[in-house]
């Protein structure tokens, strides 16, 4: 008698986010991927104010039929200074997409407390969690400061953020998530964890061309697929001089796609530093590609993306999520 193959163990993740058009797609992809077990959604001030982010997270889970996943609101401002907000998501955070007001409520526990609770449980069970950051790193930085004893239960931090070999998207040098709370990012990248970074270098390769957007057609009204098509259809930057093509860059979905299909990405190992002092370069991420600082390289920085592969698997998984509902 041959032994039965054991089922592949799901990867347990926390999605820390600021929904956000592209956060929405990252979450929907994760929920449509059987390889991933989303333990919680935590929100942070970023693209829109914290309260709006949290309401959007609840709306997304209701859209996907996954109200079993708790939503925990986190930090409503950066560690130092005043919040800045995104420019491309609209006042409600979801572009022109209108979703019903959520029926469910966020959990009363603070996001950082929930992160700690889940990591503590993982430690007890000799397991690990992957933390996905789709917005400013404020919540994760606070977790690191308050609960350093739990960091050994973090398998990896997979983040959308930074700009290395290309210009910033909010200032000359800085990507929005890093600029919104560089002090938090510096704490995170100094904690000695394992990191995967998906910077603008990668996300600007994943453009929403008309052909790729068409792959998301056909969803029934009110389905995740129909919502995704509407979001993608309105995401064009109309700036081919900058991006090399029509459409707009897909940022946050690359994080959750990476977890499922890392073969679609090529990375380079480096140590990451975050600038918090220079006025001109505030929020800039700097990579030590060649070991010049002598510090340990611990971040896999994505530099190449198979964009057609990314959009193909996104459409497959979000379509599957829609059919399951």
Q: What does the alpha-carbon distance between residue 245 and residue 91 come to, in Å, rounded to a whole number?
A: 27
Q: What does the alpha-carbon distance between residue 147 and residue 141 come to, in Å, rounded to a whole number?
A: 10
Q: Quick one: which of 98, 91, 196, 79 has its CA closest to 138?
A: 79
Q: What does the alpha-carbon distance between residue 134 and residue 129 come to, in Å, rounded to a whole number?
A: 16
Considering 72, 89, 204, 251, which one is annotated as catalytic? Answer: 251
Q: What does the alpha-carbon distance between residue 180 and residue 212 come to, in Å, rounded to a whole number?
A: 30
Tell me whether the omega of the peptide bond preceding residue 126 falls within 30 degrees of 0, making it cis.
no
Instruction: Label residue 281 exposed, middle or buried (CB < 10 Å: 0-12, 13-18, 19+).
Output: middle
- CB-CB contact of 86 with 176 (8 Å): yes
Where residue 162 falls (left for φ over 0; alpha for ψ -120 to 50; beta otherwise) is: left
Q: Counting runs of H as helices and runs of E as strands, what totals does the chain give?
A: 12, 9
Tell the residue number behind the tokens 């409520």, with chain if given.
105
Q: Tell how strand 265-274 and strand 285-288 pair up.
A: antiparallel
209-226 per-residue burial string, b: 16 or more CB within 10 A, e: under 16: beebbebbeebeeebbbb
* 251 annotated active-site: yes
The strand pairing partners of 13, in sequence order, are 38, 130
Q: Where in the sequence numbering do the catalytic residues fall?
A: 251
């Amino acid at each position: 008698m041959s032994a039965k193959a054991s089922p592949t163990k799901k990867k347990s993740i926390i999605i820390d986010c600021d929904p956000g058009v592209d956060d929405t797609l990252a979450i929907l992809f994760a929920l449509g991927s059987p390889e991933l077990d989303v333990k919680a959604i935590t929100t942070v001030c970023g693209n829109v104010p914290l309260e709006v982010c949290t309401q959007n997270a609840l709306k997304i889970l209701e859209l996907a039929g996954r109200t079993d996943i708790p939503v925990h609101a986190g930090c409503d401002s950066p560690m130092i200074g005043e919040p800045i907000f995104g420019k491309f998501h609209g006042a409600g955070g979801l572009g022109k997409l209108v979703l019903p007001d959520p029926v469910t409520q966020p959990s009363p526990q603070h996001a950082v407390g929930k992160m700690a609770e889940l990591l503590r449980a993982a430690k007890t069970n000799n397991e690990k969690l992957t933390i996905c950051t789709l917005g400013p790193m404020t919540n994760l930085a606070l977790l690191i400061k308050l609960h350093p004893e739990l960091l050994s239960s973090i398998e990896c931090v997979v983040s959308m953020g930074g700009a290395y070999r290309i210009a910033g998207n909010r200032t000359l040098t800085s990507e929005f998530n890093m600029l919104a709370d560089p002090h938090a990012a510096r704490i995170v990248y100094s904690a000695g964890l394992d990191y995967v970074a998906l910077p603008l270098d990668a996300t600007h390769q994943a453009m929403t061309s008309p052909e790729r957007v068409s792959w998301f057609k056909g969803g029934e009204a009110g389905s995740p697929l129909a919502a995704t098509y509407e979001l993608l259809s309105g995401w064009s930057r109309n700036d081919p001089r900058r991006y090399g093509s029509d459409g707009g860059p897909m940022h946050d979905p690359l994080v959750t796609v990476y977890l499922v299909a890392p073969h679609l990405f090529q990375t380079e190992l480096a140590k990451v530093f975050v600038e918090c002092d220079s006025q001109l370069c505030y929020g800039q991420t700097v990579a030590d590609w060649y070991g010049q600082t002598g510090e340990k390289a611990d971040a896999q920085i994505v530099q190449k993306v198979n964009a057609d592969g990314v959009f193909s698997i996104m459409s497959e998984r979000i379509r599957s999520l829609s059919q399951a509902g």
